[in-house]
Amino acid sequence: MKLKFTKMHGAGNDFIVIDAINQDIDFTPSQWRALGDRRFGIGADQILVVEKPRIAGVDFRYRIYNADGGEVEQCGNGARAFVKFVTEKGLTQKRTIKVETMCGVIEPALEDDGSITVDMGAPVLDPPRVPFDASNLQPKQQGMDTLWPVDIHGKTVLFSVVSMGNPHAVQVVADTDAAPVLADGPVIEHHPRFPKRVNAGFMQIVERHQIKLRVYERGAGETLACGTGACAAAVAGIQRGLLDSPVKVLTRGGELSISWEGIGQSVKMTGPAVTVFEGEIEI
Ligand SMILES: N[C@H](CCC[C@H](N)C(=O)O)C(=O)O
């Protein structure tokens, strides 16, 4: 079949976006992996599939597949690319869109300056719901946060564990450029205490309203930016008493702005979304 797609990115986190409303899409994980392959396929960190809504009062459903072919709960940068895609394609005239994801309904909105703000919902900090196996660990407290000591490559790393619908393990480092992201990232991603694997965030505190962040993503490796990772890092830093909202998150691919007013409140993320090219392939 001929597959039409749009190549996009949000702060360098890149996507293949597919209209599954006007195309009949039913691929296997290995087919998603093939599309995401940077040598033999189109290449992307994630594949976003736009579908008709399944529930009343919602405008769309969007499904997210990592480069490894696995379907996941949430993608922050992807939510912004999704909004740009459906408005550019004329699939909606709305500027605030209700979209169902695997972990619930979110409401991204297209701003007048072309940036996109997404209400990402409230973070979940309860370890079993991240999910994180905290059994037999002696946690430490920092501010309002609970830090979990986990052995990584023979050193004890103190993690904040946060779910934004998808799981995140956030640590504070002195210098993101020198952080062992590629060495430790895979070990953290696959650590047995994270039964659904995890996205590994490495956060450097620049000042109380600014961080630098690198994320080794579950199912994709290090990406130039991770939207849910930026949300999780900002929440962890605020909980630890190191940051104040709003937080400017400097990623290798661009800048995101995160605001959060505390437990039970939604995390709001604002950032760019860019269309790179339209394509069509035989699959
Ligand atoms: N790798 C993530 C999904 C994509 C998240 C990221 N690209 C974002 O912008 O939030 C996971 O497996 O949970």
How far is residue 279's CA from residue 249's CA, in Å, rounded to a whole number?
A: 31
pLDDT at 283: 85
Query: Per the annotation, where are the binding residues for substrate?
Result: 13, 46, 66, 76-77, 166, 199, 217-218, 227-228
pLDDT at 114: 87
* Domains present along the chain, CATH in parentheses: 2-119+273-282 (3.10.310.10), 127-265 (3.10.310.10)
| Residue range 238-276, pLDDT digits in tens | 999 999 999 999 999 999 999 999 999 999 999 999 999
C-alpha of residue 101 to centroid of ligand 1, in Å: 13
pTM passes above 0.95: yes
pLDDT at 105: 92
Nearest to 169 by CA among 141, 195, 143: 195
Cα 90 to chain centroid, rounded: 25
How far is residue 217's CA from residue 241's CA, in Å, rounded to a whole number?
A: 25
The CB-side HSE value for 137 (13 A sphere, CA atoms) comes to: 19
Asked whether the predicted pLDDT for residue 1 surpasses 90, the reply is no
Q: What is the ipTM of this complex?
A: 0.97
Query: Per the annotation, where are the binding residues?
Result: 13, 46, 66, 76-77, 166, 199, 217-218, 227-228
Per-residue pLDDT band at 219 (split at 50, 70, 90): very high
| Residue range 60-73, pLDDT digits in tens | 999 999 999 999 99
C-alpha of residue 230 to centroid of ligand 1, in Å: 10
How far is residue 7's CA from residue 41's CA, in Å, rounded to a whole number?
A: 12
C-alpha of residue 65 to centroid of ligand 1, in Å: 9
H/E segment holding residue 34: helix 29-36
From 72, 118, 194, 224, the mutation candidate for ligand 1 (largest count of ligand atoms within 8 A of CB) is 72
| Residue range 157-179, pLDDT digits in tens | 999 999 999 999 999 999 999 99
